[in-house]
Structure 1
Amino acid sequence: MAVRWVPALVVAALWWWAVLRMALVPGQTGFVEGAMVAGGWGLSLLPVHVASAAAARRESATKRPTRAWRRRRSDAGSDPS
Structure 2
Amino acid sequence: MGRVVRWGATVGVGALWWWAVARLLLVPDAGVLEGVVAAGGWGLGVLPVHCMPKARAEGALAPGRWRRAWRAGGHGMRGPDAQG
TM-score (norm 1): 0.60
- Tell me the distance in 1 between the aligned counterparts of 2:59 and 2:44: 28
- 1:51 partnered with 2:51: yes
Q: Which residue of structure 1 lines up, in the alignment, with residue 69 of structure 2?
A: none
| Moved >6 Å (runs of 4+) | none
What per-residue deviation string (whole Å, max 9, x for no partner) do you get for residues 28-81 of structure 1? Answer: 111110000101111111117x835x2x2211379xxxxxxxxxxxxxxxxxxx
TM-score, scaled relative to structure 2 = 0.59
Percent of aligned pairs sharing the same letter:
47
Q: Which residue of 1 aligns with 2:58?
A: 60
Bigger radius of gyration among the two: 1
Structure with the bigger RCO (C-alpha within 8 Å, sep 6+) is 1
